Each structure stands twice: as structure tokens, then as C-alpha cells.
């Protein structure tokens, strides 16, 4: 059996979530809201990622646990999903998947998005003190496996 786990740099996910909530609330979020979001979102996200990394090690040789990067899925969905299907022995579905992705991408967004779409955009806008705080909250196992940089 195979398990595929999609991971995203949790700092980028936090920043994106913060701006999404702020946009949905018409700009009402404050710095205190960000502190609450760190406790409600970032800390559990880190624990979730760490639990999957530990599970993958514990299941090694019995279950294939594959980590898929969010950025790869965002920019190359057909290639990533095709590789997942091949690993799963379901490559016969790749043509249908490729057609589905091509037809569903029509250029229209399905939800509001504050981002310009640039990878690591959060680094340019997140205050340095917050970046340092999140780095300190992130265990070494997560930093190393996700190839995170401060």
C-alpha cells in the first residue's frame, strides 16, 4: 500500500491563511489575530507534519509513505499526480487525469486569493521577528525533512 501526504512549508501556509482570513473578513484581522492563528493553525500543523514524518519512518518497508510538495502539485499537477498513479499501479488512468486537469484549469480562480502566486512570497512580507518565532517553534526533524531555511 501507498500513502501520499502533501506538505507545504507551514510558514507559507500560515501567511496565506492569515491573508485569506483577513481578506474574507474585509481586513479586520489584527496582529493579535495572527498570534491566535499561530496557536490554532501553525502549532497543530507542525505537530501533524512531524507525526507523518515519524509514521513514515515507523512504517518503512511495510507501507510506502510519499511526501508530495505543495508547490509541485500547484505548478505541475499532471506530472505529480501521474507519478502518484504510476507508483500505485494505476497508470492506465493517467490520460484521463491529464485531460481532466487540462479542462479544469481554464484560468479562472475558484476562490479569492491574495497571493501573486510567487513561491516564498511570505519571506518578503512576513516580519523578521515573526519568521524567527516560527523557526523556533519548528522542530529540527520538520526543518530537515522539508529542507526549510530560516
pLDDT, average across residues 27-37: 72
* pLDDT at residue 114 is higher than 50: no
* pLDDT at residue 31 is higher than 80: no
* pLDDT at residue 101 is higher than 90: no
pLDDT, average across residues 47-70: 93
Q: Looking at the whole model, is its pTM more than 0.85?
A: no
The 8 Å CB, 24+ separation contacts for 80-85 are: 84/2, 84/4
Residue 61, CB-side half-sphere exposure with 13 Å CA sphere: 1
14: nearest Cα among 41, 48, 47: 41
* pLDDT at residue 144 is higher than 50: yes
Q: What are 56's three cell numbers?
A: 513514515
Using CA atoms, how far apart are residues 21 and 37, in angstroms rounded to an integer?
10
Of 79 and 6, the structure prediction assigns the larger pLDDT to 6
Using CA atoms, how far apart are residues 42 and 50, in angstroms rounded to an integer?
12
Tell me the percentage of the chain whose pLDDT exceeds 70: 86
Position 135 scores a pLDDT of: 97
**Residue 117 pLDDT level (bands cut at 50, 70, 90):** low
52: nearest Cα among 42, 38, 66: 66
Q: What are 46's three cell numbers?
A: 507542525
Which residues, other chains included, contact 7 with Cβ-Cβ below 8 Å and sequence gap of 6+? 49, 52, 67, 68, 69, 70, 146
Amino acid at each position: 500500500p501507498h500513502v501520499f501526504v502533501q506538505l507545504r512549508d507551514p510558514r507559507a501556509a500560515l501567511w496565506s491563511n492569515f491573508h485569506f482570513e483577513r481578506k474574507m473578513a474585509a481586513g479586520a484581522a489584527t496582529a493579535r489575530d495572527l498570534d491566535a492563528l499561530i496557536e490554532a493553525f501553525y502549532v497543530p500543523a507542525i505537530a501533524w507534519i512531524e507525526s507523518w514524518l515519524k509514521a513514515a519512518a515507523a512504517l518503512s518497508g511495510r507501507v510506502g509513505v510519499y511526501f508530495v510538495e505543495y508547490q509541485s502539485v500547484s505548478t505541475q499537477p499532471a506530472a505529480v499526480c501521474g507519478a502518484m498513479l504510476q507508483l500505485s499501479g494505476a497508470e492506465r488512468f493517467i490520460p484521463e487525469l491529464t485531460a481532466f486537469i487540462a479542462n479544469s484549469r481554464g484560468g479562472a480562480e475558484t476562490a479569492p486569493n491574495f497571493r501573486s502566486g510567487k513561491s516564498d512570497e511570505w519571506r518578503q512580507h512576513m516580519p523578521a521577528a515573526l519568521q524567527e518565532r516560527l523557526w523556533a517553534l519548528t522542530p529540527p526533524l520538520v526543518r530537515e525533512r522539508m529542507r526549510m531555511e530560516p
